[in-house]
A and B are shown apart, each in its own frame.
Chain A
């Protein structure tokens, strides 16, 4: 499996990672090598095998829909890059 720099640019965009053309070039080489390793998966027949998403097939535990946490807004926002009036600030999205 060989990935092109164009595919890398697309994947990087999906993953929200800024890349320049030189980086895309070098990631294409490295990720193609990793995909070659991954392609060994195809050597094994997995017909009729159920996918396993949890190591012991356990289901996630649910809890009652009740408020149990304290409000820690001040503590959490104290470490945010930019906050104002209890809100996280981000660049303007809508004009």
Chain B
């Protein structure tokens, strides 16, 4: 059952080959048998079985939707009513959300079943899932390695087939880098497509919800269900929801793929380069042509991001003050000491580093030199993409310069951890849709990710390109040893 796509589950549920309760129980058992991965912070077994039972009644009444009765996992950054929602942090280790995120609501409304809440880097700040207060997550392909981050729990859960699909979020690469490290397909849509209401904020001008799954089609179906205007999010786009599923099979004949020379330079692992070159040949066989494009300012994407994201984070995370919700220190002298002690106890080291960097670049005397400077670079990076898209329909490159690294390998070096985002964060700076899909393995048997970046609002083209690639290759069907 764990090898089926969402459409196949739909057919089986519709034909009553199995019920949603049976399917849900099957995945709950797989979760129980894989606790060593630490992919989940909370398993919502009772709630899942109730939702599955409800779904079975909907199916019985003949009113089912394509996604009705299919289980999924939510990243623990999405608020889920009456369920613990931690964002991977001690400061929220007692936070039972009083409301649902809009994205969760929309998937509930389709009749999807929530298996639980997945582990993640604390406040989505990390590329390895090692900053979680709830412990590291192991990569199912090699348990000595990280699954990537920040959506590491969602990625490990789907890679080990503990859930058919999972929600995730991406501020600088947090869907795409774990997708690459775990051999999955993941999409971050254009900024504004998925409501951020009930998504615990990290960097509000960059954060975007999306999906981690095994196929482009699964991602398309769930993304479509999550997308749509929400008046509770002031940056939500008031646009019709595209029919992502309908455009998957369009031929690629005549499409132009942009290859930024900056994405094919030095510092990329040889096995990854070879895999991406092979993927380009697959696309040429599908009728697409390639063209070299320039993203001349991409080298400052990382410093630009590491000013803007911490600046927004330092402001967003000021809400955690020990007054209204979350952790409050047991001992303090006065109000200020209560704030300072609660926050010092509640946040981990990486979150504190980013809050302090953010406070510094926003502080008097440094605001123009850092924050405004980075915003100007953001525009230059965005303009580079606009110029590149004059010449091509989508951009292709590797998702990461290297495959999954060892647990603990980058512990003492935040800067080397930050370089994981080198190819991914410019799409967030420009608000563009982007995805990662599996394109092979390196010599250690670790998955390689192929990165596609689309024009603003054009998720359809990259989903289409990913789907057609997956009709020619079977990398996305490979399952890590022990989980077949």
Contact = CB atoms under 8 A, between A and B. Distances in A.
Contact of B306 (A13, A30, A38): A38
Nearest to B304: A41
B475 interface: no
A67 interface: no
Name the 7 nearest CB pairs between A and B, nearest first: A55-B431, A51-B375, A46-B376, A81-B328, A52-B379, A18-B340, A18-B344
Interface string B421-447: 000000011110000000000000000
A17 B382 contact: no
Given A37-B302, A56-B192, A80 B324 contact: yes
Nearest to A39: B303
A63 B231 contact: yes
B359 interface: yes
Given A17-B355, A63-B231, A11 B360 contact: yes
Interface in B64-121: 94-96, 98-99
Chain A CB within 10 Å, residue with most, of B302, B356, B430, B431: B356
A9 to B, nearest CB: 10
Nearest to A15: B359
Given A30-B414, A38-B361, A53-B375, 16 more contacts: A13-B340, A15-B356, A17-B352, A35-B360, A37-B418, A44-B380, A46-B376, A49-B377, A50-B376, A51-B375, A54-B431, A55-B382, A61-B235, A72-B98, A78-B98, A81-B328
Contacts of B379: 49-52
Contacts of B480: none
Given A11-B360, A54-B235, A81-B328, A16 B98 contact: no
Interface range on chain A (Cβ under 8 Å from partner): 35 or more
Contact of B318 (A16, A52, A55): A16
Interface in B165-206: 191-192, 205-206
11 contacts: A12-B356, A16-B339, A27-B356, A33-B413, A38-B370, A46-B376, A51-B379, A55-B382, A55-B431, A81-B328, A93-B334
A86 to B, nearest CB: 13
B335 A52 contact: no
Contact of B380 (A15, A17, A49): A49
Interface string A1-21: 001000010011111111100
A40 B322 contact: no
A63 B229 CA distance: 14
Contact of A82 (B328, B373, B376, B415): B328
Contact of A46 (B335, B358, B377): B377
Contacts of A50: 376, 379
Interface of B: 94-96, 98-99, 191-192, 205-206, 231, 234-236, 238, 297, 299-300, 302-304, 306-307, 314, 318, 321-328, 332-341, 343-344, 347, 352-353, 355-361, 363, 370, 372-380, 382, 413-415, 418, 428-431, 456
Given A15-B356, A41-B370, A79-B96, A34 B414 contact: yes
Contacts of A61: 234-236, 238
B323 A17 contact: no
B431 A79 contact: no
DSSP majority for the A interface?
loop
B27 to A, nearest CB: 29
Nearest to B306: A38
B234 A56 contact: no
Interface of A: 3, 8, 11-19, 27, 30-31, 33-44, 46, 49-56, 58, 60-61, 63, 72, 75-76, 78-82, 88, 90-93
B353 A44 contact: no
Contacts of B94: 79
A74 B419 CA distance: 45
B206 A55 contact: yes
Nearest to A33: B415
A14 B353 contact: no
Contacts of B322: 81
Contact of A58 (B192, B307, B336, B413): B192
B191 A55 contact: yes
A53 B344 CA distance: 29
A91 B340 contact: no
A5 B299 CA distance: 30
Nearest to B310: A34
Contact of A41 (B231, B307, B321, B332): B307
Contacts of A17: 340, 343-344, 347, 352, 355-356
B55 to A, nearest CB: 27
A60 B204 CA distance: 12
Given A41-B373, A41-B374, A56 B456 contact: yes
B362 to A, nearest CB: 9
Contacts of A90: 323, 335, 338
Contacts of A55: 191, 205-206, 382, 428-431
A20 B356 CA distance: 15
Contacts of A19: 344
B306 A37 contact: yes
